[in-house]
Amino acid sequence: QVQLVESGGGLVQTGGSLRLSCAASGRIFSSRTMAWFRQTPGKAREFVASISWNGGSALYADSVKGRFTISRDNSKNTVFLQMNSLKPDDTAAYYCAAVRGDGITTSSKGTDYFYWGQGTQVTVPS
């Protein structure tokens, strides 16, 4: 069983930065593709970024490309999302996710991910 716990969310002004963390339990973490998604009330879940098991490949949504960076530290079972130049449109609950098995390098499809965290709120006032 894999458990994911996000942290690092908060209130930040436009143009500011935040770093989200996702701590994973379970020894299989280091072999799993991970991702960040976000969701606002009344809207569909949106892909943000994905990273391969060894950090060698990353995939970003166009809306965050150049502003957000996903990374991981397999020795600490943690994946990060560095968010810079934040905008009000980035306001959402951010969720960490992990795939169930091998065979996926990176993916923007929510259905490829089996394990999900509880989310951490990021608010950028307009």
Rounded Cα gap, residues 105 and 90, in angstroms: 25
> Any residues with CB less than 8 A from the CB of 19 and at least 6 apart, and which?
8, 80, 81, 82, 83
Q: Average pLDDT of each block of 10 consecutive residues along the chain (126 residues)?
A: 92 98 84 95 96 95 98 95 98 96 89 95 97
Rounded Cα gap, residues 25 and 79, in angstroms: 12
What is 78-113 written as a DSSP string?
EEEEEE-S--GGG-EEEEEEEESSSS-S----GGGE
- What is the per-residue pLDDT for 27? 66
- What is the per-residue pLDDT for 40? 97
